[in-house]
Chain A
Amino acid sequence: MINFMKGIRLLPLAASFFAAITLNAEPLKVTVQLDWFAEPEHGGFYQAQAQGYFAEEGLDVTLIPGGPNAFVMPKVATGKADIGQADSTSTLLQQAEGLPVIQFAAVFQDDPSGLLVNANSDIHTFADLEGKTIVARPEWAFLEFLRKKLGLNFTLVPTNFSIEPLLGNKEGILQGYYIAEPYHVVKAGGKKPRFLGSWEVDFRAYAVLVTSRRFAREHPEELKAFLRAYIKGWRDYLEGDPTGAHALMKAAHPSNTDEFMMASRQLIIDGQLVTGRDGNGGPELIGRLDPERYAKQIAQLEELNILKKGKVTVEKAMTTQYLP
Chain B
Amino acid sequence: MTAQSPIVEFQSVTKSYGEGPLVLDGIDLAAQPGEFISLIGPSGCGKSTLLRLIAGLSSITGGTLKIEGREPNQESAELAFVFQEPTLLPWLNVSHNVELPQKLRDVPASERAANRNRALQLVHLADRGDAYPRQLSGGQKMRVSIARALTLDPKILLLDEPFGALDEMTRERLNEELLSIRDQQSWTAFFVTHSVAEAVFLSTRIIVMSANPGKIAHEIAVDLPQPRTNEIRLTRPYQDLVAEVSRLLRSVEESK
In the complex they form, whether A and B have CB atoms below 8 Å apart is answered with: no
